[in-house]
Amino acid sequence: MRRNWPARLGSPPSRMITGVPAHVDGRMLAISEAAGARLVNRDRMWHYTEGMINHSPIWPDHGIRVLAAPSSMWFDANGRRLANPGVPSYDTLGTLELIMRTGHDYSWFVLNKRIIDKEFMLSGSEQNPELTRKDLIGYLASRLFNSTPPPVKAFMDRGPDFVIASSLPTLVAGMNRLTGANLINADDLHRQIALRDSQVDNPFTKDTQIMGIRNSLAYSGDSLARTVALHKILDSAAGPLIAIRMNIVTRKTLGGLQTDLSGRVLGANGSPIPGLYAAGEVAGFGGGGVHGYRASEGTFLGGCLFSGRQAGRSAAREGA
Ligand SMILES: Cc1cc2nc3c(=O)[nH]c(=O)nc-3n(C[C@H](O)[C@H](O)[C@H](O)COP(=O)(O)OP(=O)(O)OC[C@H]3O[C@@H](n4cnc5c(N)ncnc54)[C@H](O)[C@@H]3O)c2cc1C
């Protein structure tokens, strides 16, 4: 990832956490290239900007991505609210650009308990026991009754990136203690949150995040199970306050081995290398292939399966 980091994003982050197991290391790309395969778009890659260090890691530097709905406020390492598209889950690559421009490799979510209870989902099968058990009722019940989902609660109790406090000055002291840098100013953070909160009462606000929350709430699916009712972050009844240091979590390359439509890997001269096939992420289908560079969340698996079918059929046809 570091070697192929896109030039438009400046230097790679000095610290990243990892969204895939250690064996997902891209090794086959180099092996295939050495065998004559053509590797394209190697600077296209996908990183999440809402990554938390796993309190119980399954692999080294295990990072968990938060799929958050729109209510948490997002600040850079200096405590300045992110500009557009700095709203949780809006635009992963756009937010990565915003964060990299700050010269720091992390940012902050500031929210409260009422928001985390309803809006936080964690990526990864072990973080979603109800979904992996196909217990949709259990899943919906935990969302509808606004109790903290157990995997989220475990992060609140043990997550190394979490600061929880009943007042903003205490929260800020904890944030500065966590990073060891005195970058967050309590008065300034209070000013920005209070300004946002003041717009909750303004039906014509131009605060784009509040407009986004209202958009979400207009959709019954989101308002039922995903987006918390609009309220003031500093409302003590919604507390305690929570700050989460969000790290950059690497997930995948969107470049890869160039193939034809049958999954046959192309060599440097553009013709297929006999007997060599590629499908899925290694062939750039983990998002970047059929769906474009800024592919929508959740569309990655489909392209992997589709290209696997193509490559498999073609290999069978050719008796490879
Ligand atoms: C935590 C997480 C959440 C995700 N969530 C989503 C989502 O919600 N929606 C979505 O669309 N996508 C999601 N993705 C992305 C999607 O899961 C992957 O893009 C997709 O599974 C990649 O499939 P693949 O077959 O290309 O690679 P893989 O599934 O990684 O398969 C590669 C296989 O090759 C094996 N292998 C490696 N080296 C060798 C070797 N030398 N010899 C033999 N075997 C080898 C590996 O063990 C592995 O089984 C997520 C990914 C992660 C990590």
CATH of residue 162: 3.90.700
Mean pLDDT of 211-239: 96
> Do residues 178 and 57 share a domain?
yes
Mean pLDDT of 58-75: 96
> Do residues 214 and 277 share a domain?
no
Longest dimension (CA), the chain: 70
pLDDT exceeds 90 at position 234: yes
pLDDT exceeds 70 at position 320: no
Determine the atom of ligand 1 nearest the C-alpha atom of 124: 1
How many angstroms does the Cα of residue 13 sit away from the middle of ligand 1? 24
> Do residues 39 and 181 share a domain?
no
Confidence of residue 288 (pLDDT cuts 50, 70, 90): low
How many angstroms does the Cα of residue 22 sit away from the middle of ligand 1? 12
> Do residues 68 and 198 share a domain?
yes
Question: For the chain, how many structural domains are there in total?
Answer: 2
- Whether residue 5 is contained in a domain is answered as no
DSSP result, 43-60: T-EEEEEEEEE-SS-SST
- Whether residue 21 is contained in a domain is answered as no
> Do residues 163 and 241 share a domain?
yes
- Whether residue 265 is contained in a domain is answered as yes
**122 within ligand 1 shell (Cβ under 6 A):** no
Confidence of residue 245 (pLDDT cuts 50, 70, 90): very high
How many angstroms does the Cα of residue 94 sit away from the middle of ligand 1? 24
> Do residues 95 and 35 share a domain?
no
- Whether residue 82 is contained in a domain is answered as yes
> Do residues 89 and 214 share a domain?
yes
**300 within ligand 1 shell (Cβ under 6 A):** yes
Confidence of residue 314 (pLDDT cuts 50, 70, 90): very high
Written as six digits, the tokens of 25 are 């290391």
**20 within ligand 1 shell (Cβ under 6 A):** yes
**127 within ligand 1 shell (Cβ under 6 A):** no
**301 within ligand 1 shell (Cβ under 6 A):** yes
**256 within ligand 1 shell (Cβ under 6 A):** no
**Selection from 223, 17, 263, 240 nearest residue 111 by Cα:** 240
**19 within ligand 1 shell (Cβ under 6 A):** yes
**Selection from 98, 10, 12 nearest residue 50 by Cα:** 98
Q: Are 4 and 26 in contact (CB under 8 A)?
A: no
> Do residues 299 and 177 share a domain?
no
pLDDT exceeds 80 at position 260: yes
Question: Quick one: pLDDT at residue 253?
Answer: 86
Residue pLDDT, tens place only, 160-194: 999 999 999 999 999 999 999 999 999 999 999 99
**123 within ligand 1 shell (Cβ under 6 A):** yes
Which residues, including other chains, have CB under 8 Å from residue 19's CB and lie 6 or more apart? 48, 51, 63, 65, 123, 249, 250, 251, 252
Question: Quick one: pLDDT at residue 287?
Answer: 63
- Whether residue 7 is contained in a domain is answered as no
> Do residues 220 and 75 share a domain?
yes
The C-alpha angle with vertex 240 and arms to 237 and 246, in degrees rounded to 5, equals 135
How many angstroms does the Cα of residue 318 sit away from the middle of ligand 1? 26
Q: Are 257 and 284 in contact (CB under 8 A)?
A: yes
* Alpha carbon distance 132, 128 (integer Å): 6
Peptide bond into 203 cis (omega under 30): no
> Do residues 115 and 227 share a domain?
yes
Mean pLDDT of 25-54: 93
Instruction: Out of 249, 268, 294, pick the residue that ends a domain.
Output: 249
- Closest residue (by CA) to atom 48 of ligand 1? 24
The C-alpha angle with vertex 238 and arms to 236 and 239, in degrees rounded to 5, equals 65
Determine the atom of ligand 1 nearest the C-alpha atom of 20: 53
pLDDT exceeds 80 at position 243: yes
Instruction: Out of 216, 249, 282, pick the residue that ends a domain.
Output: 249
**Distance, CA of 242 to chain centre:** 19
Q: Are 159 and 170 in contact (CB under 8 A)?
A: no
Q: Which domain holds residue 272?
A: 26-43+255-318
> Do residues 100 and 236 share a domain?
yes
pLDDT exceeds 90 at position 141: no
Confidence of residue 144 (pLDDT cuts 50, 70, 90): confident
Burial-class residue 160 by CB neighbours within 10 Å (0-12, 13-18, 19+).
exposed
In percent, the amount of the chain with pLDDT more than 70 equals 98
Instruction: Out of 201, 228, 249, pick the residue that ends a domain.
Output: 249
- Whether residue 203 is contained in a domain is answered as yes
Determine the atom of ligand 1 nearest the C-alpha atom of 287: 19
What 3-state DSSP class applies to 12? coil
> Best of 122, 253, 300, 307 to mutate for ligand 1, by most ligand atoms within 8 A of CB?
300
Alpha-carbon distances of 186 from 32, 143, 174, 283, 303, rounded to whole Å: 53, 32, 11, 48, 46
Determine the atom of ligand 1 nearest the C-alpha atom of 27: 38
- Closest residue (by CA) to atom 19 of ligand 1? 286
Burial-class residue 205 by CB neighbours within 10 Å (0-12, 13-18, 19+).
middle
Confidence of residue 147 (pLDDT cuts 50, 70, 90): confident
> Best of 128, 281, 307 to mutate for ligand 1, by most ligand atoms within 8 A of CB?
281
User: In which residue are the tokens 């250690």 written?
Assistant: 22
Q: Which residue has the higher pLDDT, 139 or 25?
A: 25
- Whether residue 1 is contained in a domain is answered as no
* Alpha carbon distance 20, 151 (integer Å): 19
- Whether residue 2 is contained in a domain is answered as no
* Alpha carbon distance 66, 239 (integer Å): 20
> Do residues 226 and 209 share a domain?
yes
